[in-house]
Amino acid sequence: MEFGAIFKAAFALVVGLDPGFLAIVGLSLRVTLTAVLIAAVVGLPLGAALALARFPGRSAVIVCLNALMGLPPVVAGLFVFLMLSRSGPLGPLGLLFTPTAMIAAQVILVLPIVIALTRQTVEDLWSEYRDHLRSVGLEGIRAIPTLLFDGRFALATALLAGFGRASAEVGAVLIVGGNIAGYTRTMTTTITLETSKGDLALALGLGIVLIALTLAINAVAFGASRIGARYA
């Protein structure tokens, strides 16, 4: 197929809302959004707690978390694969090559980002708010809701960063999902497969959606920081 035709076919897929195409986009979004949601529910309070807690080895924990932000997705995938494979500790659950396994792998990728950025945001806020919050009797765990709420715009950006990382990665979902057509095939794994098979139109169509998604994420992040600036 010549170059222009590939683009045309790709756009036709995107605009034509082809059911197979939409299913792939839908699964990708479902997996990634679920992973980000889980990472948020776990990571926001944990990051805030880490910001306020003082214990031996805290610095080491922070360094490890920061390092985990750069964890290669294939390694995260490999780890979940080992856990879920038939002989692994969680093998009996039979989750390997399911969307659930992909969500688990992406949670591992997103969680360190959420915890580390939350820790930083909340720690900065706490140093500013400490006197007042302690004055009105909010210390320790009781201060966390206030700090998370007042850090909401920075934290939204952290979640979007996590979403960006998860939606763009291919290694982890490929390993633990298995790229099974109609079941665990996401946008990124499809692009990998179709490109090697030569179905460039489908790959490119999905690429367009991914880029649009990235653009949308950045627009939302920009908007969040703009709204945040209104509260200075």
Partner 1 sequence: MRDVASILPLAVDAVSFLGDGRRLIDGLSFGVSAGGLTVLLGPNGAGKSLTLRLCHGLLTPNEGQVRWAAGAEGRSRRHAMVFQKPIMLRRSVEANIAHALAAAGVFGAERRERSRAALTRFGLSDHAAQAARLLSGGEQQRLAIARAWSLRPELLFLDEPTSQLDPAATRQIEELLAGLVAEGITVLMSTHDLGQARRLASRVLFLHRGKLIEEAAAATFFAGPRSPEARAFLAGELIW
Closer of 123 and 150 to partner 1 (Cβ): 150
Distance CA 67, CA 166 (A): 17
Residue in this structure with the two tokens 């169509």, named with its chain if needed: 205
CB of 137 to partner 1, least distance (A): 6
166 near 110, Cβ under 8 Å?
yes
Closer of 20 and 145 to partner 1 (Cβ): 145
Q: Would you give the distance in Å from CA 126 to the centre of its chain?
A: 26
CB of 225 to partner 1, least distance (A): 13
Question: What is the token pair recorded at 220?
Answer: 């939302």
Distance CA 173, CA 39 (A): 16
CB of 149 to partner 1, least distance (A): 8
CB of 54 to partner 1, least distance (A): 16
CA-nearest of 180, 209, 170 to 11 is: 209
Contacting positions for partner 1 (CB under 8 A): 128-129, 131-138, 142, 146, 149-150, 228, 230-232
CB of 46 to partner 1, least distance (A): 22
25 near 31, Cβ under 8 Å?
no
Closer of 55 and 231 to partner 1 (Cβ): 231
Closer of 26 and 145 to partner 1 (Cβ): 145
CB of 13 to partner 1, least distance (A): 44
193 near 4, Cβ under 8 Å?
no
DSSP-H helix ranges across the chain: 3-16, 19-52, 58-68, 73-84, 99-135, 144-150, 152-168, 171-177, 187-197, 200-230
Closer of 151 and 205 to partner 1 (Cβ): 151
Question: What is the token pair recorded at 131?
Answer: 């006197």
Closer of 137 and 198 to partner 1 (Cβ): 137
